[in-house]
Amino acid sequence: MLGKRSNKASVETESPVSVPGPQHVAIIMDGNGRWAQKKGKIRTFGHKAGVESVRAVVRFARQNDIKSLTLFAFSSENWKRPEEEVSVLMELFNLVLNNEAKRLHKNGVRLKVIGDVSAFDDKLKEKIRKAEDMTAENEALVLNIAANYGGRWDIVNAAQQLANEVVTGAVSIEDINESLFDSKMSTADLPELDLLIRTGGEHRISNFLLWQCAYAELFFTDVLWPDFSEEVFQEAVDDFKRRQRRFGLTGDQVDVIAK
């Protein structure tokens, strides 16, 4: 299994113009707190500044034929932060949904929130539902906001759904394979994850898309999230295009497939 689509097109190297870019990019938007602290400000100043980088990456994704962009906004572990920081992050999420949903819709962006939204208050849940409904038919880009998201939660959630279907008789244990499991993940129906970017200098996944990272290319940058720009995004995409994705094959085999 080479993933949901053939890797044939992804490994062409002859002409740089014909090398396809990633279809699904995920970003761990890290470094807001340090960015603010470096400026002598409180951490939440950095979260507010980070919203502008979100706008920039959405714009970049739309203009560069990326079909799906998944942004890590709040992890299942981030609840452990000081109450005040968590509450500013929730307010910011509310505010962004208020201010940006219409603009996203106008630009043909479909908004989806992935993660355990049941933990959010009713007002926020309602805003999420409305924004998702309003943009449901849009096709220019799928923007997934991972909020109260954990990679382990995603896998457990998929396992629970399958277990339930086994109990009701809808699925037999023998039917469970990678593709059925994948269809229960929060990223079902999206293209396979091609590129994972992490800003802020740390080289770890921090419980993000664990299942989906299986064959993603990883790109780490020291740039702190509020300083992330279309230029750095372009650098990550160019780097991605120069890589040979082998999916377990030898480099020679991949070259043959690419011809």
Could you list the residues that contact ligand IPE (CB under 6 A)? 28-34, 72-75, 78, 89, 200, 202, 204, 206, 225
Is 78 considered catalytic here?
yes
Residue 71 near residue 54 (C-beta atoms within 8 A): yes
Least Å distance, CB 9 to ligand IPE, is 31
Is 65 considered catalytic here?
no
Residue 30 lies near Mg ion (rule: CB under 5 A)? yes
**Distance between CA atoms of residues 145 and 250, nearest Å:** 35
Phi, psi at 68, each rounded to 5°:
-145, 130
**Distance between CA atoms of residues 257 and 27, nearest Å:** 30
Least Å distance, CB 36 to ligand IPE, is 8
Q: Name which of Mg ion, ligand IPE, none residue 75 binds, using a CB cut-off of 5 to 8 Å depending on partner kind.
A: ligand IPE
Stretch that binds Mg ion, among 26-34, 138-146, 183-191, 213-221 (CB under 5 A): 26-34
Least Å distance, CB 131 to Mg ion, is 26
Q: Is 26 exposed, middle or buried (0-12, 13-18, 19+ CB in 10 A)?
A: buried
Structure tokens at 134: 């309003």
Q: Which residue out of 64, 78, 94, 138 is catalytically annotated?
A: 78
Cβ partners under 8 Å of residue 184, min gap 6? 157, 158, 159, 161, 162
* 89 vs 232, beta carbon nearer ligand IPE: 89
From the list 188, 224, 238, 186, the residue with the least C-alpha distance to 208 is 186
Least Å distance, CB 80 to ligand IPE, is 9
* 7 vs 219, beta carbon nearer ligand IPE: 219
From the list 70, 71, 68, 72, the residue with the least C-alpha distance to 5 is 68
Stretch that binds Mg ion, among 29-37, 40-48, 56-64, 144-152 (CB under 5 A): 29-37
Residue 89 lies near Mg ion (rule: CB under 5 A)? no
Q: List, in sequence order, every residue forming a beta bridge with 25; answer none if it has no partner.
A: 69, 195
* 30 vs 100, beta carbon nearer Mg ion: 30
Name the site residues for Mg ion (rule: CB under 5 A): 30
Residues known to be catalytic? 30, 78
